[in-house]
Amino acid sequence: DQQVKQNSPSLSVQEGRISILNCDYTNSMFDYFLWYKKYPAEGPTFLISISSIKDKNEDGRFTVFLNKSAKHLSLHIVPSQPGDSAVYFCAASSPNTNAGKSTFGDGTTLTVKP
């Protein structure tokens, strides 16, 4: 049973447009959510996070939205740049269990075309 799902394996957008990456989760105990970005031949790097007490968190061109009732979060990148082309992983944590272990989705490969 996959508790964190990223249903779109890939996404292609034009430079300057908005990229929207989606993530769904099933475990209502998750209360902290993170996005990581991964370039080829490198490890994932932390991008942005959101606590369940918020519905939006913004950091520059990156905004994460959380809809707890729908168990859904999304990452918006505006404007998208070619350097944003990477695999994006959504992750969810339950800080009070398993030492705050994160459960990851399968990842979405974003391609931003110049």
Task: Measure the CA dihedral 22/78/47/81, to 10°.
Answer: 110
Q: Is 76 left (phi over 0), alpha (psi -120 to 50) or beta?
A: beta
Report d(CA 33, CA 95) in Å as an integer.
Answer: 10
The residue among 14 and 46 lying less far from another protein, judged by its C-beta, is: 46
Q: Please, which residue, 42 or 114, has the CB nearer to another protein? A: 42
The residues in 10-49 that bind another protein, with binding defined as CB under 8 A, are 32, 34, 36, 41-46, 49
CB atoms under 10 Å from CB of 3, counted, come to: 15
Site string for another protein, 66-95 (x = CB under 8 A): -----------------------x-x-x-x
Binding of residue 108 to another protein (CB under 8 A): no
Residue 16 CB, nearest approach to another protein (Å): 29
